[in-house]
Amino acid sequence: MSESHTTNAEKPLLAATGRGLECRAGNFVIDPYRKTRVSVITHAHADHAKAVADIYYAAESSVPLLKKRLGENLDIRGIPFGQPFTLGDTNVTFHPAGHVLGSAQVRVEHNQDVWVFTGDFKRDPDPSCEAFELVPCNTFITEATFALPVYRWQPGGEVAEEIYRWWQSMKATGRTCVLFCYALGKAQRVLAELTRFTDETVYLHGAVAPLTDIYRQAGINMLPTEKIDLRKKDNDFTGKLIIAPPGASGSSWMRRFPKAVTGFCSGWMRIRGNRRRRGYDRGFVLSDHADWHGLLKTIEQTGASQVLTTHGQANALIRLLQEQGINAKELVTQYGGEEDTDDTPATDNSNNGDD
Ligand SMILES: [Zn+2]
């Protein structure tokens, strides 16, 4: 492994360029942000999946989400997890990243040199998507969204129980709970985790409903849901739980729910001041990314001698890895981590029915 590692430094198999994570030997770009012929897509979040390529390769289970977000008529080719395919001089395989439905790590092999890009990933169990799979490699390119020791997650089931208790206590006082969650992944994870506590219907913002339908069609078990129809004036949401994208917070859409209390589900809620600054009544620490311990454990288990980080404050992680003798550095990319930036339009399309 150390021999191929020397050549890595001269001619990296994957390099961060102005187009994305580019593979010259395979003539493709992973998660491109500029015009590209052949792309390989890790998952359907907006900072990774952009409509800029002629051909898209993606994990099979992410194809309905990608079509919904990028366009039904694009050339999107679904490949089952674990099934190798050839691009240029490389062999490429998708492996589950455990981040959202269909999210993939990309394994690229060329002349016995193996690189893995995680995309976004997490290690914690999540009933709404495929479980993370460890993939040994020489070079590991990892996201580092929460790369500080303060970021440690509780199990999702415990957080769901907190959400359930909050909902029930607010119901007892005649309030409506509006829980802000990213529309793709987080919302469906909450709906799946809550099945352990209730079978009550949850009401969805128009941006969350179609993505939830895709999850349901994929066989994910979630609470029953109903899309909020803003045309119905006599709806009473007292005692109900509503899930909406963060962009709807503070918007005119919220006027429909005068008795609402608000909550926000995010890894960023681990930092106490964030909830207050963003004006939510409650914060729930639930993340779709690996925490500090998850990052360290995963890096060690891959056996990689070179570790490159994307989209995060990775200085502490890089220093620690260097002390352990690992060749670690940061790659500059445009991947933001959807917990950083809301990638969901705040508008509710339920009036024009085009979603
Ligand atoms: Zn993501």
The span from the CA of 25 to the CA of 11, in Å, is: 10
Residue 169 is encoded by which pair of tokens? 């206590």
Tell me: pLDDT of 2 over 50.
no
Percent of the chain with pLDDT over 70: 92
- pLDDT for 341: 44
| Per-residue pLDDT tens digits for 102-157 | 999 999 999 999 999 999 999 999 999 999 999 999 999 999 999 999 999 999 99
The span from the CA of 180 to the CA of 171, in Å, is: 17
| Per-residue pLDDT tens digits for 46-73 | 999 999 999 999 999 999 999 999 999 9
| Per-residue pLDDT tens digits for 235-249 | 899 999 999 999 999
Q: Cα(247) to centroid of ligand 1, in Å?
A: 17
Range with the poorest average pLDDT among 146-160, 204-218, 246-260, 334-348: 334-348
- pLDDT for 181: 95
Q: Which residues surround ligand 1, an ion (CB under 5 A)?
A: 45, 120, 338
Tell me: pLDDT of 354 over 60.
no
Q: Cα(338) to centroid of ligand 1, in Å?
A: 6
- pLDDT for 337: 54
Quick one: average pLDDT of 257-262? Answer: 94
Q: Cα(227) to centroid of ligand 1, in Å?
A: 24
* pTM, two decimal places: 0.92
The span from the CA of 195 to the CA of 20, in Å, is: 39
For each of the domains in the chain, give its residue range(s) and CATH number, in order of start: 2-150+289-330 (3.60.15.10), 156-286 (3.40.50.10890)
Question: Does residue 52 or residue 341 have the better pLDDT?
Answer: 52
Q: Cα angle at 209 between 240 and 220, to 5 degrees?
A: 95
- pLDDT for 248: 94
- pLDDT for 342: 44
Contacts of 113 (CB under 8 A, 6+ apart): 4, 7, 8, 13, 138, 139
Q: Cα(120) to centroid of ligand 1, in Å?
A: 5
Tell me the sheet residues that pair with 73.
none
- pLDDT for 209: 98
Q: Dmax over Cα atoms in the chain, in whole Å?
A: 70
Residue 296 is encoded by which pair of tokens? 């360290």
The span from the CA of 6 to the CA of 17, in Å, is: 21
| Per-residue pLDDT tens digits for 313-336 | 799 999 999 999 999 999 988 887
Average pLDDT, whole number, for the chain? 91
- pLDDT for 279: 84
- pLDDT for 116: 98
Q: Cα(104) to centroid of ligand 1, in Å?
A: 10
Q: Cα(143) to centroid of ligand 1, in Å?
A: 10
| Per-residue pLDDT tens digits for 208-227 | 999 999 999 999 999 999 99
Tell me: pLDDT of 7 over 80.
no
Contacts of 272 (CB under 8 A, 6+ apart): 283
Q: Cα(164) to centroid of ligand 1, in Å?
A: 25
Tell me: pLDDT of 177 over 60.
yes
Q: How far is CA 103 from CA 83, 95, 184, 217, in A?
A: 15, 8, 11, 17
CB-based contact 155:124 (threshold 8 Å): yes
Percent of the chain with pLDDT over 90: 82
Q: Cα(45) to centroid of ligand 1, in Å?
A: 5
Amino acid at 246: P
Question: Does residue 274 or residue 176 have the better pLDDT?
Answer: 176
Q: Collapsing DSSP states into helix, strand and coil, what is residue 28?
A: strand
Task: Name the residue with tokens 């311990």.
Answer: 293
- pLDDT for 10: 63
